[in-house]
Amino acid sequence: MRSHLLNDTTTEHYRRSVTEGVERVAAKLAATDRPFTGVTVDDLAPRIDAIDLDQPLRDTTAVLDELEDVYLRDAVYFHHPRYLAHLNCPVVIPAVLGEAVLSAVNSSLDTWDQSAGGTLIERKLIDWTAARIGLGPAADGVFTSGGTQSNLQALLLAREETKTQDLAKLRVFASEVSHFSVQKSAKLLGLGPEAVVAVPVDHDKRMQTVALAHELERCAEVGLVPMAVVATAGTTDFGSIDPLPEIAGLCEQYGAWMHVDAAYGCGLLASLKYRHRIDGIERADSVTVDYHKSFFQPVSSSAVLVRDAATLRHATYHAEYLNPRRMVTERIPNQVDKSLQTTRRFDALKLWMTLRVMGADGIGALFDEVCDLAAEGWKLLAADPRFDVVVEPSLSTLVFRYIPAAVTDPAEIDRANLYARKALFASGDAVVAGTKVAGRHYLKFTLLNPETTTADITAVLDLIAGHAEQYLGESLDRAC
């Protein structure tokens, strides 16, 4: 069994094993002509159930054959141009190389004595990101597992900075289309169910600052504490960007912590054309960035940044066995002092490899391409009488709904759209997402693949229309 331990004596085994795995994936990617096979849970579950984990196959080739059957064949492939659903991007090769290196070396970024150079690489990337945001000389931050954790940590710092003991008095303001991790965080932080105030959005799905001002004023009048305003720079559904400068002004006026959830919109930090769309982000107290959404990084790769490094102390605990207090005076950089996690992946390496190989402009150009594609897609949808499209994209998302000429019942239109999404998924021809707008079912394209073309968009719209029509035809037959 020792032959499986990766060390100085097993490098040949390591090379062979990993190469064999890479060959399989490469062959799979080359041969995949659809984003999904349409496999169902009922098809797949028995195959996985049948595997006895106490009966190892021993042989790597046999295990990869088995993996083909239980995973690779039916996986959802985000690199495919017709994967148009969730905020999960195709990945760039330098980052995948970084992933291979980081798991083999297996640094843990909690303490310097487990990561050495890794700690400094992560810190440099944090400084780089903070500088791109414009957070100023006292900024700092840390890599996290994702936007959910980044939002949680930001709101933890905001809560602690209020110095309010009575948690029932704290209020967090976020737009009605902000990410649900704001509510989850509030719950985890011990705030009450009414703590998160949903601020209405305008026609473009951006937070209405007049309504925010009104809510903040009301909060002050009744003696509640405005703990934080969460501005979203790239909402999950619409990619809409809240008016950051106005929100910053209101946060200053009412003494609220300004958190910008740029999990999605952070791609604009590297953009060559659209960086101005997130102007005002530099006034934030904290920012969430998900490199695994718009920097073409593999999951996970995310960070939380803060304007004032000192605020990260709210996540600091010392333990003799790990990061004794004396290490601070010895100037030993232990990233665990800033993180909610202890053992932590060296995810930063993926971004490092990406920037060193492609440069930030390379990433920004790819993100610009998907924003441009979304603008083209919007024109197609707006000109197509078969569809109702919700907002002109600020990033790369399109929310729309099939509206058959002959049907007026909105519930029947809902069912046709739901059916179309399901049928498309089952066919594997394309994968699209869904959401609700004003109580009605809509479909969603999240365009994160520069390889997707307007021809793909047109083809998928035709497929959707075809499935919806089929549903409506059958529904008419059923009624007769």
Binding site for ligand PLP (CB under 6 A): 87, 146-148, 151, 179, 181, 232, 234-236, 261, 263-264, 290, 302
Least CB distance to ligand PLP at residue 233 (A): 8
Least CB distance to ligand PLP at residue 88 (A): 9
Torsion over CA: 273, 274, 280, 281 (sign) = negative
Least CB distance to ligand PLP at residue 11 (A): 35
Choice between 114 and 232, CB closer to ligand PLP: 232
Alpha carbon distance 82, 373 (integer Å): 13
The single-letter code of the amino acid at 274 is Y
Choice between 246 and 290, CB closer to ligand PLP: 290
Q: Are 262 and 234 in contact (CB under 8 A)?
A: yes
Least CB distance to ligand PLP at residue 238 (A): 10
Q: At what angle do helices 93-105 and 348-357 cross, to 10 degrees?
A: 140
Choice between 112 and 291, CB closer to ligand PLP: 291
Q: 119: buried, middle or exposed (CB in 10 Å: 19+, 13-18, 0-12)?
A: buried
Taking only Cα atoms into account, the Rg of the chain, rounded to an integer number of angstroms, comes to 24
Choice between 179 and 401, CB closer to ligand PLP: 179
Least CB distance to ligand PLP at residue 260 (A): 10
Strands 225-232 and 431-437: unpaired
Choice between 94 and 234, CB closer to ligand PLP: 234
Least CB distance to ligand PLP at residue 375 (A): 20
Choice between 200 and 410, CB closer to ligand PLP: 200
Cis peptide bond N-terminal to 427, omega within 30: no
Structure tokens at 205: 């799905």
Choice between 87 and 447, CB closer to ligand PLP: 87
- Residue 458: φ, ψ to 5°: -60, -45
Choice between 336 and 395, CB closer to ligand PLP: 395
Least CB distance to ligand PLP at residue 8 (A): 37
Alpha carbon distance 247, 259 (integer Å): 10
Least CB distance to ligand PLP at residue 261 (A): 5
Least CB distance to ligand PLP at residue 235 (A): 6
CA distances from 223 to 55, 168, 189 (A): 64, 11, 20
Q: 348: buried, middle or exposed (CB in 10 Å: 19+, 13-18, 0-12)?
A: buried
Listed residue (202, 216, 276) closest to 249, CA to CA: 216
Choice between 219 and 395, CB closer to ligand PLP: 395
Alpha carbon distance 247, 215 (integer Å): 12
